[in-house]
Amino acid sequence: MFFCAISGEPPQEPVVVAKSGKVYEKRLILKYINENGTDPISGDKLEESDLIVIKASPETAAPRPPTHTSIPAMLQSLQNEYDAIVLETFVLKQQYNSLRQELSYALYQQDAATRVVARLIRERDQAREALANVQATMGIAPTAPAAEDVEMAEGESQPAESLPKEVMAQIDETHQALSAARKKRKPPVGYSTPADVKTFTAKHTIPSLHSSSPAGITCIAVSQSHPSQFLTGGNDKIVQLYDRDTDKVLETLKGHTKKVNHVAFRERDGLPSLLISAGADKIAKIWSHDSASGGYIPKSTIRTHKGDLTGLVVHPTSTLIGLSSLDKTYSLHDLTNFAQVFRSAPSDEAFTSLAIHPDGMLVALGTPTSTIQIYDIRDGSIAATLTPTESSPFTVNTLSFSENGYHLCAPDSLSSAAIWDLRKQKATASIPLGDGFKINRIRYDPSAQFFGIAGSEGLRILAHKTWEELAKFEEAGDVADLAFGENGKEVWGISGREVRIWGVPSE
């Protein structure tokens, strides 16, 4: 039995096209030829003389179902309507297939163009960085910033010799208030003790934060005013504000073009809450809390540095932030008007980490050659240089001052940490962590009773002064950063796309 190539049904009067060999219902193909003059399948020119009548046996196809022939008077009109619908459906199918091909080609072109643009932007950034390095090596002043850096205030890129008087007054006032109470600083009532830390156990895991490509959380900060909220930065160039109590992402903040290296909260009574981030794209972003919407809105972008930002700290005054960079400088910025108030003269070495003394008068900076430079924040003069006595050169990628201000904890090799006594400018202890341990981050807790070390083999918490290991959490694998929770009852660590929380067992 034959089937019509247009309708798909057995033809009443079958004909075959000599060129293509296709079989059609005679009335349908004649209508198509009259309208288009081509073969509906092959698209070749077709005339009625090219059709050959098929003498089939039996001569006619099987009769139509009774439901289609029960009303002879309406058969002709229904047949005409049906033929028109079949022809229209066939044409629509052809157009649909053609549109699919065109759309596929357009999507391919758009994807290719996007890849080319991304590659060109990456090559441009690499060329700029290479040029800056060559200029720095030759002692040539950096070229003027490109037009895209429009958010940088005029004159911000020039180093400042000293802080403005009003900023200096704020720092002095804060220093006097904090240093006067230093010897009397005691842990708050209800704060965790080293004995409590020994009982820490896994409490909660928050999975699948940030994008899976490229995957990985790089930094974390926990809010002091809302202890259930924390801020994270990732390899996906995103900053996220998350609420643990509701298990929801409160804000997804974009603006960086490379991975985010550091995040911080600015929280102080009487001042708007700020979320701050610093990245490998050489910029720092600041978002301010909007009381009208309840969310955070972009407030400022700092573009004063020519190298990756490697440190971000909110000054004890809560009105300044410090930034360090691979461009061999560090800077201070006012959080009131977001202007740069100080920029150090270029150092001989790049700066790979940053910490500010809890009294606000000193700033410590790590380098790629094992040394730690400590500067007077008021005028940028060097107050001390700390260098491990026996160690192969390594990058000091993290620093942390104790809350009492007497000690500074920093790596003294890739797998050990040193406790520096700032009064004697000597290392009082070196804590080995194992040959396979690579330090990622060191943080003192706010009470200076203990400190945490995050690294390639998990998270460890050690007691201050006795250096006893209070807790070890290896199940998380490579921990990139850590933060202490409210009253030291918890410690938060990031591993891959997870945030893990350990703390005092629930009663």
Angle between helices 72-138 and 26-36 (to 10 degrees): 50
pLDDT at res. 132: 75
Residue 455 lies in a domain: yes
Residue 202 lies in a domain: yes
- Single-letter residue type at 205: T
The pTM score is 0.68
pLDDT at res. 71: 63
Q: pLDDT at residue 262 above 80? A: yes
For residue 60, name the pLDDT band (cuts at 50, 70, 90). Answer: low
How many whole angstroms separate alpha carbon 293 and alpha carbon 443? 34
Burial 151-186 (b: 16+ CB within 10 A, else e): eeeeebbeebeebeeebeebbeebbeebeeeeeeee
pLDDT at res. 451: 94
Residue 350 lies in a domain: yes
**What is the domain extent for residue 482?**
165-503
Lowest mean pLDDT, pick from 98-107, 137-146, 172-181, 441-450: 137-146
Domain count, the chain: 1
Average pLDDT of the chain is 87
Residue 62 lies in a domain: no
Residue 370 lies in a domain: yes
User: Are 285 and 241 a contacting pair, CB within 8 Å?
Assistant: no
pLDDT at res. 128: 83
Residue 10 lies in a domain: no
Residue 382 lies in a domain: yes
What's the CATH code of the domain at 283?
Answer: 2.130.10.10
Residue 85 lies in a domain: no
